[in-house]
Amino acid sequence: MTNTKRSVAGTAPHLGTRALNRATLDRQLLLRPARISAAAAVEHLVGLQAQNVKPPYYALAARLDGFAPEALSRLMADREVVRIVTMRSTIHTHTADDCLTLRPLVQPARDRELTQFRKGLAGVDLDRLAALARDLVETEPRTMKQLREALLREWPDADPQALAVAARCRLPLVQVTPRGLWGRSGQVSLTTAEHWLGRPAGPAAPPDAVVLRYLAAFGPASVRDMQTWAGLTRLRDAFERLRPRLVTFRDDNGVELFDLPDAPRPDPDTPAPPRFLPEFDNLLLSHADRTRVVPPEHRGRSWQGNFAYCTLLVDGYLAGLWRLEEHALVIEPFGRLTRAQREEITAEGERMLRVMHPETSYDIRFGVVRS
């Protein structure tokens, strides 16, 4: 367990950046391969960022012992996990149970998102739109283009894009298979979560319960950290209700951090092996203060405009980018690597390739260091 010291900013013990790094990596199943199922991992991590099809598969390959892409693909085919817009208005892969309870939890954020399209929805009855859209997608899955065209016939003066956004915000729309299956392709076709899963949505997950799950997967964390992850506001009350059940710390800036009393907080010197993460991995997106994983000098280097790169962790921190070319895994570190680090990265790259592409031969090469 981490040695702590009293913070000058308060009476709570201090947790430095490296201690936070190791604690978060442990919760994220990135310190050592976890011997749990793909379904259990998706549940523990409260979903996987899934803006593209492949990232959830690579995310689990970095975290699980014995993972095979077919395991997640089978869960999706069997409708035990689904792709749906939830946290931060982005697509996540969630378990069916989480889909039916977390989507209602973030409905206030979807309502706020919809206000940005108010001008394009002038004169549109949103309740009627939701009912019509539900009937359309439950009759048969529809693409966004098909949904826009059908809604535009009812409201020809409205903005077509705003009509489709309104349907997505008002309804829990999931992407149906074959979209999302490993080794398969398919356009985005949508139906409601209730129709796809064959059962009604549950009540919204209680905020207190979700706080506990967030801390188990991303803690220790501040209120702002969780609000960043969820895309929600006004979560302070849930943390305050839970305060008697939690422990608190202060980070290097004096910010109060909450945590589960028995959650792992490894020694800051615990080794952290290299890890190849996909673009949009939640490890890099789920805290207001990301310095626990992203060194200040590398802030913004995993993005260019709206494009996100696949990222490399070295000693637990963002340290480079990677990509697959036709016959090579190309690794581009941000700084100089020791011989030992290069050997460890190469070994982890070979392991990742065996898991994700066992029938393809790739060379591993280090590219030009990015400035």
Tens digits of residue pLDDT in 13-32: 999 999 999 999 999 999 99
**What pLDDT is stored for residue 306 in this prediction?**
80
Q: How many CB atoms lie within 10 A of CB 144?
A: 18
With 90 as the cut, is the pLDDT of residue 202 above it?
no
The closest of 319, 326, 336 to 363, measured between CA atoms, is 326
Residue with tokens 């349907």: 167
Domain boundaries, the chain: 57-197, 294-366
Mean pLDDT along residues 227-246: 97
With 60 as the cut, is the pLDDT of residue 97 above it?
yes
**What pLDDT is stored for residue 371 in this prediction?**
52
**Residue 315 and residue 298 in contact, taking contact as beta carbons nearer than 8 Å:** no
Report the C-alpha gap between 210 and 104 in whole angstroms: 12
Residue ranges with strand state E in the chain = 5-6, 13-14, 48-49, 81-85, 91-95, 173-175, 190-192, 247-250, 256-259, 275-277, 303-304, 307-308, 310-314, 317-324, 328-333, 363-366
**What pLDDT is stored for residue 10 in this prediction?**
54
Report the C-alpha gap between 45 and 40 in whole angstroms: 9
With 70 as the cut, is the pLDDT of residue 9 above it?
no
User: For residue range 284-320, what is the model confidence (pLDDT) as tens digits?
Assistant: 999 999 999 999 999 988 888 888 999 999 999 999 9
Q: Look up residue 217 and give its two tokens.
A: 């997967």
Strands 190-192, 256-259: pairing is unpaired
Q: How far is CA 137 from CA 142, 168, 190, 224, 278, in A?
A: 6, 11, 6, 36, 31
With 60 as the cut, is the pLDDT of residue 135 above it?
yes
User: For residue range 40-61, what is the model confidence (pLDDT) as tens digits?
Assistant: 999 999 999 999 999 999 999 9
Strand-pairing partners, residue 249, are 257
The closest of 214, 281, 270 to 61, measured between CA atoms, is 281
User: For residue range 56-96, what is the model confidence (pLDDT) as tens digits?
Assistant: 999 999 999 999 999 999 999 999 999 999 999 999 999 99
Radius of gyration over every alpha carbon of the chain, rounded to an integer in angstroms: 22
Q: How far is CA 66 from CA 30, 152, 180, 348, in A?
A: 14, 48, 21, 14
DSSP 331: E
With 90 as the cut, is the pLDDT of residue 138 above it?
yes
The closest of 206, 239, 223 to 287, measured between CA atoms, is 223
**What pLDDT is stored for residue 8 in this prediction?**
39
**What pLDDT is stored for residue 1 in this prediction?**
47
Give the rounded percent of residues in the chain with a pLDDT score beyond 70.
96
The rounded mean pLDDT for the chain is: 94
User: For residue range 312-365, what is the model confidence (pLDDT) as tens digits?
Assistant: 999 999 999 999 998 999 999 999 999 999 999 999 999 999 999 999 999 999
**What pLDDT is stored for residue 326 in this prediction?**
87
**Residue 323 and residue 356 in contact, taking contact as beta carbons nearer than 8 Å:** no
3-state percent breakdown (helix, strand, coil) of the chain, nearest 5: 40, 15, 40
With 80 as the cut, is the pLDDT of residue 3 above it?
no
With 80 as the cut, is the pLDDT of residue 237 above it?
yes
**What pLDDT is stored for residue 59 in this prediction?**
98
Report the C-alpha gap between 74 and 170 in whole angstroms: 29
DSSP secondary structure string, 95-149? EHHHHHHHHHHTHHHHHHHHHTTTGGGTT--HHHHHHHHHHHHHHS-B-HHHHHH
Cα–chain-centroid distance for residue 308?
13
With 60 as the cut, is the pLDDT of residue 6 above it?
no
